[in-house]
Structure 1
């Protein structure tokens, strides 16, 4: 897997993936686009959500929606690394089993999500969920 990041002016950078997709990053605290660290959180949420949805679908759960709200804390010293990240999954559907959601979230965090597994080495990652019946 390869990627490229190119400076496009001021504190803006254009990231291009090997598959040709692009993302703009803003090193100015995310004023005009996500900051690099915000993009890490988005990547963590995306990776985890892919797993959770896939696992729930394989368990024949009737999910209609899934989102994850992510909150992170950073250390006070430089570099301002993440110390803690919390993922709150909100799963919508019909007759969704809490046991299945708990299993899906745990499997993602502990076994499948590459981003979480990399971050776990230095960041305390926690998670919980809620189910909304629709």
Structure 2
């Protein structure tokens, strides 16, 4: 049975670079400088929301046997002008490529992710205006 707790460790490397290691042993480097050598923590939040939603959308589309070959999500985050520069708005635009992919299945998958499954996006939605859109591209 899986536990509801998670753990992580963040260690300073040099400058404003840090390595974060998940409790499952996976590491990622982050950089506090916007022009740094790795994503910033806020970029990681945006990427986490997109990854979490994408897992749901792909999983739901696979269950509905849609013939898709690619799924990507483009994210745009707007931040407050003052400190703390939190996200005020996040927009996710899904692009699903495939043969005869039904728009209603993509719409349903995006909606289910947004409203029910994506813990990152739903958690952010408590304080951020999170919006979604999609397009289906014949490939």
TM-score normalised over the length of structure 1? 0.98
Alpha-carbon RMSD across the aligned residues, in angstroms, is 0.7
Q: Counterpart of 1:43?
A: 48
Q: Residues of 2 paired with 1:31 and 1:88: CA distance?
A: 26
What TM-score does the superposition give when structure 2 sets the normalisation length?
A: 0.95
Task: Give runs of aligned pairs for residues 44-123 of structure 1, distance below 5 A.
Answer: 44-123=49-128
Correspondence for 1:31? 36
**Could you tell me how far apart the structure 2 residues matched to 1:116 and 1:60 are?**
25
The answer as to 2:19 corresponding to 1:19 is no
User: Alignment length, in residue pairs?
Assistant: 134
User: Which of 6, 22, 39 is the equivalent residue of 2:11?
Assistant: 6
**Offset, 1:14:** 0.3
| Unpaired stretches in structure 2, ≥5 consecutive residues | 1-5
Name the SS for the 2:39 alignment partner.
coil
| Counterparts of 2:41 and 2:31, CA distance in 1 | 7
Find runs of 4+ consecutive structure 1 residues off by over 2 angstroms.
none
